[in-house]
Homo-oligomer: A and B are copies of this chain.
């Protein structure tokens, strides 16, 4: 839609009046992090009940030392759930992020598949690079930054990363050692990788022998509107003998309890042997009682999937409200575009270039906390100053309703100000 300057001045006045109303309201709302709501946590309260037995079905006493790879029953449960082989899974502690960090630390310190440790490149004046589909997950980027790994942004399309670019980069440069992928309901776009994308990632020729994909399938079973099927990356990789290219991560943080769930890593068997060797120095094993709790609560993969339907039921009204508000408030004026995820935890909003930081500030000033602008890009720099990640899960519907009113208003106000060259 096109406005005359006169119209814009008038709209700005109206918006400012509305904004003043929110200033007085003393709000304290948070759309910034993908935290499950209390009502979602309640779905798993059975995990807090008395443990049926401290013995696993295979007779392991979960209360004592041992079992580096995790309880066999727990590995089996997740193998069934994620269509993986039991032997390729190691159950870790409470956090898949921690397993990603540990895996990166291991590769930097000790290397993999006979290649030299990634940390060694520094001393040759070189830097290891990782491809980062953007926008993406801030905590992935933070790991790269911490380890001094140079991040190379790759555009994310509706089918996954722009593969022509990816294939060229990995083929030409042997210091491109890896890539982040959130293949289902990506954070923050909600993108689901197509079969073709998965096949190309698994089979592409890479200059680095130790090229590694960090396959963070955080939202593997976190469908809301419809079940999306993802090509099994190991099936694709096995066809070309590339199973060890993939480090697959998953956790129950958004299935059972965030921070008190169970995380896992899966990979080719050579990698699993390497990881196991390092882990045997790092720990005597992770918390098997919590693994057993999860096995006893869920029992079968189907039970986990049924449980996820309850989560979807809780999340759906929040996503629908958010999308409805965006549609109602921002479609006509055309001041923003947004993603329409089928699952996951986020909706990705695009303002006009140069407006996102202003929106953030305006919202902050009336007590609505948004994800920091730029967080969805490497080094915290959104080159367009346009992307805002909306996390609708944590607030109540009532709070979300107000927060979205504020957000839409702030988008309009920032855009009009920009159009009037006021900022």
Q: Mark A106-119, 1 if CB is under 8 A from B, else 0.
A: 00111000000001
A-B contact pairs, 13 of them (CB 8 A): A41-B61, A48-B50, A62-B260, A63-B257, A63-B258, A64-B258, A65-B259, A101-B281, A110-B146, A120-B123, A259-B285, A259-B286, A260-B289
Q: Mark A322-361, 1 if CB is under 8 A from B, else 0.
A: 0000000000000000000000000000000000000000
Beta-carbon contact of B105 and A109 below 8 Å: yes
Tell me whether A98 is interfacial, beta carbon within 8 Å.
yes
Total A residues in contact with B, Cβ cutoff 8 Å: 55
Beta-carbon contact of B51 and A287 below 8 Å: no
Q: Mark A273-302, 1 if CB is under 8 A from B, else 0.
A: 000001001111111111000000000000
Contacting residue for A281 out of B63, B65, B146, CB 8 A: B146
Q: Mark A48-73, 1 if CB is under 8 A from B, else 0.
A: 11110010000001111111000000
- Interchain CA distance A66-B34 in the complex, whole Å: 12
Hey, which chain B residues are within 8 Å of A139, CB to CB? 281
- Interchain CA distance A289-B48 in the complex, whole Å: 9
Q: A41-B64, A54-B48, A278-B146 are in contact. Are A101 and B283 (CB under 8 A)?
A: yes
Beta-carbon contact of A41 and B65 below 8 Å: no
- Interchain CA distance A45-B289 in the complex, whole Å: 12
Tell me whether A36 is interfacial, beta carbon within 8 Å.
yes
- Interchain CA distance A282-B146 in the complex, whole Å: 10
Tell me whether A79 is interfacial, beta carbon within 8 Å.
no
- Interchain CA distance A202-B44 in the complex, whole Å: 48
Tell me whether A142 is interfacial, beta carbon within 8 Å.
yes
